[in-house]
Amino acid sequence: MSVVLTEKVLDDRALLITLNRPDARNAVNGQVAREMAAILDELDADPSLVVGIIRGEGRGFSAGMDLKAFLEGDVPMFEDRGFGGFAQRGPKTPLIAAIEGFAVAGGLEMALACDLIVAASDAKLGLPEVKRSLIAAGGGLLRLAQRIPYHVAAEIALTGDHVPVERLYQVGLVNRVAEPGRALEVALELAGQLVDNAPLALEGSKYVLENAADWGMQEGWKQQDPVMLRVNQSEDAREGATAFAERRAPVWRGR
């Protein structure tokens, strides 16, 4: 039985990915990691898909690592993709997390591995690892330190407490706050804005954004140039300019 389900949505231009272990609070085991990694490979390989949306079945997004499985030697990692099959190395295609209920520990780390986050206003988000003598080594500490003010990141990581979604929205970690029960609806609305854009430009923009902090400004100009040339010299770039001049919607080919 699959523990990660998929469905094409938004006229088959987006892939809805569902963590499907509701009885285990969508906790991540080795099977989840393997299936997620394979699905994200397929997402990148399908030129008709320009965005992925990840959600959890049942009451919440994910409670993180399946501790029972871990104690039995089942590691929730997959090769160089890391925790959950993508926390360390994600896809080239943009991802949106749609959070209802809770995204804690590794669940929040998977959400942080996405490019955009939509969360219900009553969702519980946090990194409680310190309460179990663990650290959030699935990217939680690394990404928080880059994306929000240090003292806010330190409070989240060192207290282990849940953080109100509204506060995470105020510091820029959450993109959209949805009414309870509407996180997926709002995430689909956000995805709808992405699918109208050119796939090569989306992929190239994500690549530069993800790596800019590591490159620094001077190196960044050098690294950005080949990405820019690949996108700007594409058929889609010509189509974008032509469609603008002809006052019509562009038809993207992904090449």
Give catalytic residues, as residue numbers: 109, 129
Alpha-carbon distance of 251 to 126, in angstroms, equals 41
Tokens for 252?
A: 């993207």
Alpha-carbon distance of 91 to 39, in angstroms, equals 10
Number of Cα atoms under 13 Å in the Cβ half of residue 133: 0
Residues 6+ apart with CB under 8 A from 247: none
Residues 6+ apart with CB under 8 A from 100: 55, 56, 59, 60, 61, 120, 123, 180, 181, 183, 184
Q: Cβ–Cβ contacts within 10 Å for residue 218, how many?
A: 7
Tokens for 132?
A: 């179990």
Alpha-carbon distance of 112 to 145, in angstroms, equals 12
Q: What is the dihedral of CA 46, 77, 94, 96, to 10 degrees?
A: 120
